[in-house]
Amino acid sequence: MPGPPDPHELVQRARAGQQLAVARLISMVENAGPQLREVSAALTPHTGGAHVVGLTGSPGVGKSTSTSALVTELRARDRRVGVLAVDPSSPFSGGALLGDRVRMGEHADDDGVFIRSMATRGHLGGLSWATPQALRVLDAAGCEVILVETVGVGQSEVEIVGLADSTVVLMAPGMGDGIQAAKAGILEIGDVFVVNKADREGARRTVRELRNMLHLREHGGADAWEPPVLMTVASRSEGIGALADALDDHLVWSRKSGERDRRRRERVRREIEAIGMEQVRARMERVRGGEALDALTGRVLAGDLDPWAAADELLEQSG
């Protein structure tokens, strides 16, 4: 019976462009198996080169169609592309309900594209906890641009800003998206705004509303980034070239201004904190229902110990 795969060997194979190795590494990350630490250690030295682009917006605006059209445009520019499509979790299996090849089948045979659907696993922010590590896999595998398409679930979709170097907010005419964006704080996180389905009535009005609302935002000075508002018809690939140009422009600005480094530092801080909290939770799970917790509960009920002191003792014992 073969033993577990060697993470360092898998990383080298992924860096050589072997899609099976990339898929296996992402599965190891998602499953949080015993080799997760080794995988992370093997990946980290080979990361930092990819431009991570988040695409978010409410259901029905055409996120998947826009993502697929953007992949086509980036491939025409000879960019190696990775896509993480974060989907609703199955309540039975925890898996992604929408398969990657169903959503973007036209790219399935392109060795320069890697597409993976990931389950949110009930995470309210719409982003799997494993997404940061999956980004590292695609980064290490040589993807120059990584598109993260979120499920789009109201205010929680703003979480994408914590993962992306550039964030695209997609809207559509006739859906009241402009007003909803103002309510949900989406205007604060978008680097590029796109009114998709621009062949529909009301598209230009939606663009005007967005530009007016963006004009009323607080600006960070003369060198601040001014988010463009673009019009696309993704189903016909119209306007997608301008979207790719805007993302390139934002990357240049963010590097020059230091914004990219600031976002990446904050991203890693949050990831370290999340891993630490997960480890604490796991330790607490090991003592929950055990004799130590029962004994401390009895002492608090008897008045011999206060709950804060009991929690301190529990943490010491769980460590």
Q: Is the pLDDT of residue 15 over 50?
A: yes
What confidence tier does 239 reach under pLDDT thresholds 50, 70, 90?
very high
The pLDDT of residue 86: 76
Check: CB of residue 87 under 8 Å from CB of residue 118: yes
What confidence tier does 32 reach under pLDDT thresholds 50, 70, 90?
confident
Query: What is the pTM assigned to this prediction?
Result: 0.84
The pLDDT of residue 293: 84
The pLDDT of residue 107: 81
Q: Give the helix ranges, DSSP H, for the chain.
A: 7-15, 19-31, 36-43, 63-76, 100-103, 131-140, 177-184, 203-215, 240-257, 259-287, 291-301, 307-318
